[in-house]
Amino acid sequence: MTATDPTDFSALLPYNVKSIVEGWIHDDMPSFDVGGLVVGNDQKTAHLFMKSSGVFAGKPFFDLVFQTLGCQVEWNEDLACEGVHKEITEKVCLATVTGPVHMILRGERTALNTMSRCSGVASLSREAADRAKSLGWEGWVAGTRKTTPGFRIVEKYGLLVGGAATHRLDLSQMVMLKDNHIWACGSITSAVKLARKAAGFSQKIEVECQSLEEAMEAAEAGADIVMLDNFEPSQLKNDAATFKQKFPNVLVEASGGITTTTMPDYLCPHVDIVSQGKLTQGYPCVDFSLKITH
């Protein structure tokens, strides 16, 4: 994805995103809103400003917050384009929100929190994806399932807008057999065979491996992806090359403490995916504000 050719991912969002947004609003106002009483219900307009640099993301969540509260959002479509990195030297007005003033203020913090975090994920994802691409690597930079409970859909959306892969969205999408699964089941082979009975042909199976021998066993049992977890870069490259000689069609994922800074050490033609938990755990927020016109 480039700044001149961003993709609109909003149509991906499930119907229940509305109830998720309602839950956020309820969480912020479980009882009386005295501040809302103070300002009243006159019709007012507020301006949304982007105040720090980053990849803009989270537009549909902002819309849904204010739609739920009976307000209208009008975007400056020339400026408010998701997936575009904006270099901010002075604050930029991206949208106006119109509605009863107590409803605007009721949604203000929830909408801003959501968008600042979504843009933070997108910005960090763009940095990682661009870094990998600049080195000529053609694989996938991916997030992980290390997301915030109740906020997963925003963080996964931010990964996509930023140009990274989401990895599996949840426990029901793709089978991931980690060390605890293997230990509880007894062996990699037993775990993969049982998982395949349930998953059939429609789901991929990935196995977390601590050694080349485990990766070989997983592939021989029918795994589609092997994760080489917590390998040193030199060991990873050597073992991935050896593995691909025998299983060229099984994907290899590198994972475990990898950051955008250290990622180049792990990239090679035999590694298909590099995943980073930090993309949804250690992202900086992008600064936005919403100001009532007065």
Residue by residue, DSSP assigns the chain as: -BTTB----GGGS-TTHHHHHHHHHHHH-SS--HHHHHH-S-EEEEEEEE-S-EE---HHHHHHHHHHTT-EEEE-TTT--TT-EE--SS-EEEEEEEEEHHHHHHHHHHHHHHHHHHHHHHHHHHHHHHHHHHTT--SEEE--S---TTTHHHHHHHHHHHT-B----STTSSEEE-HHHHHHHS-HHHHHHHHHHHHTTSS-EEEEESSHHHHHHHHHHT-SEEEEES--HHHHHHHHHHHHHH-TTSEEEEESS--TTTGGGG--TT--EEE-THHHHSPPPPPEEEEE--
Residue identified by tokens 């050719």 is 5
Would you call 146 a catalytic residue per the annotation?
Answer: yes
SS (H, E, C) 108-172: HHHHHHHHHHHHHHHHHHHHHHHHHHHCCCCCEEECCCCCCCCCHHHHHHHHHHHCCECCCCCCC
Task: Find the catalytic residue in 91, 146, 204, 278.
Answer: 146
Q: Enumerate the active-site residues.
A: 146
